Structures are given as C-alpha cells and as structure tokens.
Amino acid sequence: MASTPPPSTALSSIGPVPFKDVAGAGGEGHRGVPPPEEFSGTVAAMPTTNMLGFKLHRHQDTWVVDACLTGVLSVQRRFAPRPGDVVLASPPKCGTTWLKALAFAVMARAAYPPSLASNEEHPLLRLNPHACVPFLEELFTVGQEAKLELLPSPRLINTHMHHSLLPPSLTGNPDCKIVYVCREPKDMVVSLWHFAKSIMPEGSKHTFSDLFEDACKGETPSGPIWDHTLGYWRASKAHPDRVLFLKYEEMLLDRAGAVRELARFLGVPFSAAEEAQGMPADIVGLCSIETMKGLSANRTGVAGLLGFKHESFFRKGVAGDWANHMTLEMARRFDDIVEDKLRGSGLTFKP
C-alpha cells in the first residue's frame, strides 16, 4: 500500500469529526418533547394530517413530522451557519444515511484514511453514520443545538427541511454548501413503507395502500416530495457552486464518480496520488451497504427522536423496488402526478 499523500490545505483543517465523539450521546429516543411555549400558538394553528398513524403538520406548504416540528421552527429562527458549513439535505428515505457516510469519508479522509485494509479505526466502522453527522432539526427539537458549536469547522450537518424553509442566512450564504440527494419517488414510498413498519405498533392495521394514497396527496414526512425536490433543483440551477443536486439512482450506477463529484464540489478533489492509491474506490467500499450492514454499530442501537433502529436504515439499497409493491396502475398514477408537478422544470425521474 502506498503511503498516504500529504493532505491539501483544505483537507488539513480539523473537521469534520464524528459528532458523537465531541457531543456525546443524546437526542436518541426522546419521545414526545413538548413544544416550547414560544411556538405553541403557531403549532396549534397548523392544519394536521396522519400518515400511517404519524402526525404531520402543515407548515409553510410543507408537511413536517410532529417529532421535529419545534426543531424546524427553531432552526428557522435561530440557526447560525458558520463559514465552511456543509449541509446534506434530502427527503427521508432517499439515501440520507449513505450520503452522510460518503460526505464524512470524503471530507475527513486526511485524518481518517478510508482504506478498510489499512485502517480499522475509521469512525464509520465504529459509529452509525447518523452518529457522525448531526441531524439539524432534531438537535433543535431537543434543545441541544449548542452541541453544534462543539464541532470544528468545516461542520457537516443534515436536514430534511425543504429549501424554502431554510433560513436565508444559510441559503444566501456564499460560504456554505448544500449537497442534496433525491430518489425516484416510487422507490422513496416503498422505502418509507418498510421504515415506518419497523416502528408501527404491534397489530397496526395500516397497509401499503394507505401510504400510497397519502403519497399521492403529497402527505409524507417532509412532503410533498415533488416540492422538496424542486426547491433544491431550482437552487442548484441558480447556484451550482453552492448546491449540488444528486440522484440516488445515478450514484448507484457510478459510485466512484459520485464520490469524485462530491469531493470536487466540496473543494477537496482527489489528488493524482489519491487516485493512484484508489481512494475513491476505498470510500465506495467503506460506505457500501454491504459493509455498513455488517458492522455492529449498524446492527445494534437506535437513532433519532423516534428511536429508529440503526439496522432499519439499511435495507436493499437498490433502484426499482417499487415494482415489488405497486401494481402498474398504481405506478402510472403516481408517475403522472409527479410528472405533472415537475412539468417545465427540466427535472425528470424517467430513466
């Protein structure tokens, strides 16, 4: 194995470091945090709906899950971006966990070489990706946003908030970057179904058809999915240097290419020596669903306010699983809705 090349100036900065290492445990399994007084009037005035028994609130034309609502409101009011911040944005079930792992591995590669053979101490081998990269609105929900200040720059943070909900201090900040990942919407619905099932109460009568009907109305966590995606799509067109727009399916097709694109966008392209060492392929291997699924950090433990099992974030990791759950008629109906919503934008999910 060739020796590690000297880090570039950008890579020799301190961050990112695993969030859990600096902030300790916390945030996991805090069910039913009451809304802070400051928001009670606002929250009470919001229309609500239920998706598979989970409460969603209508906030500024988006659907926000109950567990993160006060966090979203607090982020809008109080989040103070720092120069160098990298925000990973996505709708739930569209590759968030994978993007967290890839971005962390790319940005932290000087301190933590990603070669599985040469480094058994990589944080992603001992921590779930959600423990490496903090979830913005969740931290604000539980009043632990001060922990973000413990992270050295550049900070890596993730959010499920719509672009339209993010504070202008972030979206208008030339010193912050956003990486967005989205996914073919039918596959998002199927992935959401399996994920939701993992925390549905015993004996729940909810069916995939119930979720499908909700999804057709745009009533999914951080929905409507089309508005979520369009917001970041337009931002990436307006500011390609600040917003990188990725599709999960394209990443699956060219994983090393996606890693290179991430590195380039984040201002830390691979050097010729790193390429010769096979570093992009090392990162692909380290972050592959096969590697991640096998780690005890991902087979045990829980993440998030709702106490999602780490293992529930890793299922099939393929494109096209919708075909195993939807009839052709359902697929056509959903495709038509999405196509209609995206019309004229230049964005399409057609192969």
Binding residues for ligand A3P, rule: CB under 6 A, are: 90, 92-98, 187, 191, 194, 287-289, 292, 313-317, 321
CB closer to ligand A3P, 46 vs 199: 199
Residues in contact with 216: Cβ distance below 8 Å, sequence separation at least 6, in sequence order: 333, 334, 337
CB closer to ligand A3P, 3 vs 324: 324
SS3 247: strand
CB closer to ligand A3P, 194 vs 341: 194
Amino acid letter for position 75: V
CA distances from 233 to 2, 66, 109, 218, 262 (A): 40, 26, 28, 18, 16
Q: Do the bridges between strand 156-159 and strand 86-89 make them parallel or antiparallel, or are there none, so unpaired?
A: parallel
Which of 282, 284, 241 minimizes the C-alpha distance to 264? 241
257-265, long-range: CB within 8 Å, 24+ apart, which pairs?
A: 258/102, 259/102, 259/106, 259/283, 259/284, 262/102, 262/103, 262/106, 262/179, 263/106, 265/177, 265/179
CB closer to ligand A3P, 173 vs 288: 288
Length, in residues, of the chain: 351
Question: How near is the Cβ of 90 to ligand A3P at its closest, in Å?
Answer: 6
Catalytic site positions: 160
Question: How near is the Cβ of 310 to ligand A3P at its closest, in Å?
Answer: 11
Residues in contact with 45: Cβ distance below 8 Å, sequence separation at least 6, in sequence order: none
CB closer to ligand A3P, 82 vs 293: 293
CB closer to ligand A3P, 126 vs 239: 126
What single-letter DSSP state applies at residue 135? B
Which helix H or strand E contains 50, and what residues bound it?
A: strand 48-51
CA distances from 325 to 213, 240, 329 (A): 14, 36, 12
DSSP assignment string, 292-321? HHHSHHHHS-EETTTTEEGGGG-S---S-G
Which helix H or strand E contains 243, and what residues bound it?
A: strand 243-247
Question: How near is the Cβ of 289 to ligand A3P at its closest, in Å?
Answer: 4
